[in-house]
Structure 1
Amino acid sequence: MNAAPEVGLIERARALAPLIAGEADEIERTRRLTPAVVNALIENGLYRALLPQSLGGAEAPIETFMQMLEEIAKADASTAWCLGQCSVCAMIAATLDHDTAQEIFNTAPGILAWGAIAHEARSVDGGYRVTARWDFASGSRQASWLGAHVRIVGSDGVPRKNPDGSPEVRTILFPAASAVLHDVWEAIGLAGTGTDSYEVSDLFIPERFTAFRDVPSALREQSPLYRIGIGSTFSLGFAAVSLGVARATLDAAIALARAKHQSLAASAMRDNQSVQGLIGRTEGDWRAARAYLYATANAMWHDLCVTGEFSAAHRSAVRLAATWTIHQSAKVVDTAYHMAGATAVFRKHPFERRFRDMHAITQQIQARDTHYEDVGKGILAGG
């Protein structure tokens, strides 16, 4: 397996952008990342950005991971989304015993994907048995292993509980060949992610192929990276994807304004004061969103490296910044799309796909309006 050191991940992502952009039409048409793109991501070690160094991964700081995704998203949102999903899934390696993690992540292609939490696994001698179907498995078509987050029931059928009374949830991992994938991803945006469903029937999962997700005491690796947790890392990564999509869409609008002479207009778009003002304000909106997201991530990372703790305050700050950034990115994309006029509706121009991709991103869990309510509730409680 090829591995990229932390230094160079962003540069490698930027260097791959022309290839990915050139494959974007085929990715959209087939609803899958193309073999050329997947192979390039593997060969350049990008899937291993968050994999522990003890397994040959980059174990990159969070800002490096975010910038890597941002660069890929400028070329194609579906590629960035799959890369982000599978990269974060690889963080589960920090809770697995070394030999198990080696088997999963250092046997080519070494890619793990999973979908939304659902269903139960029954405890049996030596592990668990499960029959279930899960949805929203972005990156599953490239993966050699799949996972699922399931509630655990005992051999007597009684749901197991954590000490605080909440349901016991584990992440189970199994070879992709053990599952049946269902081609269901006919979506308005992020069409190339192949975010399909997958199903297993009476599958036995050995104990060593299970893990507790986002439980600090379960960590084998002690890097600050793994204390952030999978959920918050997803938020930061997908917010960075939204910034990349917004940057590319705004850049396309700027390029169009420099060259286009609108029908019936007395002057070129670039000389129109309304267009000039709109571009200036929208540029400011994008820069503000990016600055806020990265400032939040960097402040959290600094505190984490000093204290070793990812606090509830950090989690709330990350959630707020990521949600707001995605919504602001959507506003930037909407402005650029409308600025382009009739040009934006044609598939040969770089607007309509990014418009659809961005609005697919806003429908994901990381962009839910209820996150504002959760943060607001904490603020009003004095947190």
Structure 2
Amino acid sequence: MSELPGPDLVERARAIAPLIAREADEIERTRRLTPSVVAALIENGFYRALLPQSLGGAEVSIEAFMQMLEEIAKADASTAWCLGQCSVCAMIAASLDRDAAQEIFNTAPGILAWGAIAHEARAVAGGYRVTARWDFASGSRQASWLGAHVRILSADGASRKNADGSPEVRTILFPAASATLHDVWQAIGLAGTGTDSYEVSDLFVPERFTAFRDVPSGLRETGPLYRIGTGAAFSLGFAAVSLGVARATLDAAIALAREKRPSLTAGAMRDNGAVQGLIGRTEGDLRAARAYLYATATAMWRDLCATGEFGATHRSAVRLAATWTIHQSTKVVDTAYHMAGATAVFRSNPFERRFRDMHAIAQQIQARDSHYEDVGKAIVAGG
């Protein structure tokens, strides 16, 4: 596939948003992205946004990636969440054996998904053997390959250690057909992500299908994108998803205010001073959150391109901006939902699903309150 520059991806995202919006109810009902949506995401190169150019990916800037997700999220949060998850997973191609990366990402559909770190794999001749089950694999129902982050045991069962004494953790990759998927995602929000569990039994994973995730010394690619690491990319991407959900929900409330005449009141919502003031303050909150998130990402990217370094200061800044943005976006959605009154509770209107999706986003690791403590600790220490 030819290179797709960042702005082109953003425009493509806007162009297919109507298709995704039309499919949103079916995505919610089936708890899966629909075939037509998956086909559109593949055809437009969205899953390859963060894949290295050397493998035919777009390798866009982090800001272009965020804008792409924000546009998709305005149409459907579940679609944007799956796309964000699988796109960031593709960043591991920068650390993989080249032939292995070609096999994974350039054999259709070329989509990788993984869940949370858990369990262990035992080193054997030529690779690793593992029996385990993992959770939270958003996008796994579209994926052709799955991954898992595991602690490594030596052949004698002893835990292998890094030079600093910490446990050695590798990411292992294997065809989705090698795993059993368990349909467990019965959630109040992001229902369409199909964030299911998956397991393997006595699976052999060749060495070349493993990598050290987010370890700069293991990078095969030199582009600045891969210095960021998947943790920060997930944070910025999912914060952008929250902005898209908040924007769409507030826009729906504004559109409702222009037309609605609440029962037992004399005038239209649009003429109500309290409603006007609430819209103004909430619009300011949303614009401030978006400006802060993108300013942080832009400053980080500028420094990274100039120095090649993504250090603790950048990591802390990204964590704070992403966490705060998700929390602010949740407040915006809550305000818009309450502003809509009884209209918001009906599934036929554009509030109820976005309210649930936003609160599901706010429960994820990227929005933990403990991130404020981590950042505060660094600030107090002079970092």
Contact 1:3 1:44 in 2 (8 A): no
| Per-residue deviation, 1:143 | 0.1
Match of 1:115 in 2: 115
Distance in structure 2 (CA, Å) of the matches to 1:244 and 1:163: 42
1:206-225 pair list within 5 angstroms: 206-225=206-225
- Cα shift readout 1:160-219 (whole Å, capped 9, x = no counterpart): 111111110000000000000000000000000000000000000000000001000000
Distance in structure 2 (CA, Å) of the matches to 1:215 and 1:281: 43
Match of 2:311 in 1: 311
Query: Is 1:263 matched up with 2:263?
Result: yes
Match of 1:75 in 2: 75
TM-score (norm 1): 0.99
Q: Which runs of 4+ in 1 moved over 6 A?
A: none
1:1-383 pair list within 5 angstroms: 4-383=4-383
**Aligned-partner residue type, residue 278 of structure 2:** L
How many residues in Structure 1 have an aligned counterpart in Structure 2?
383
Distance in structure 1 (CA, Å) of the matches to 2:219 and 2:225: 11
> Residue 172 of structure 1 aligns to a residue in which SS?
strand
- Cα shift readout 1:101-140 (whole Å, capped 9, x = no counterpart): 0000000000000000000000000000000000000000
Distance in structure 1 (CA, Å) of the matches to 2:296 and 2:143: 31
Distance in structure 2 (CA, Å) of the matches to 1:352 and 1:81: 18
Contact 1:5 1:57 in 2 (8 A): no
| Per-residue deviation, 1:99 | 1.0
> Residue 6 of structure 2 aligns to a residue in which SS?
coil
Unmatched segments (≥5 aa) in structure 2: none
TM-score (norm 2): 0.99
Contact 1:174 1:205 in 2 (8 A): yes
Distance in structure 1 (CA, Å) of the matches to 2:144 and 2:156: 33
Distance in structure 2 (CA, Å) of the matches to 1:373 and 1:123: 37
Distance in structure 2 (CA, Å) of the matches to 1:319 and 1:211: 24
- Cα shift readout 1:271-322 (whole Å, capped 9, x = no counterpart): 0000000000000000000000000000000000000000100000000000
Contact 2:232 2:319 in 1 (8 A): yes
Contact 2:97 2:209 in 1 (8 A): no
**Aligned-partner residue type, residue 191 of structure 1:** A
**Aligned-partner residue type, residue 184 of structure 1:** V
Contact 2:131 2:199 in 1 (8 A): yes
% same residue:
86
Contact 1:2 1:42 in 2 (8 A): no
Unmatched segments (≥5 aa) in structure 1: none
| Per-residue deviation, 1:268 | 0.4
| Per-residue deviation, 1:151 | 0.3
Contact 2:137 2:195 in 1 (8 A): yes
| Per-residue deviation, 1:147 | 0.1
Distance in structure 2 (CA, Å) of the matches to 1:169 and 1:259: 56
Distance in structure 2 (CA, Å) of the matches to 1:372 and 1:167: 26
| Per-residue deviation, 1:6 | 3.0
Contact 2:3 2:53 in 1 (8 A): no
Please tell me the root mean square deviation across aligned C-alpha atoms, in Å. 0.7
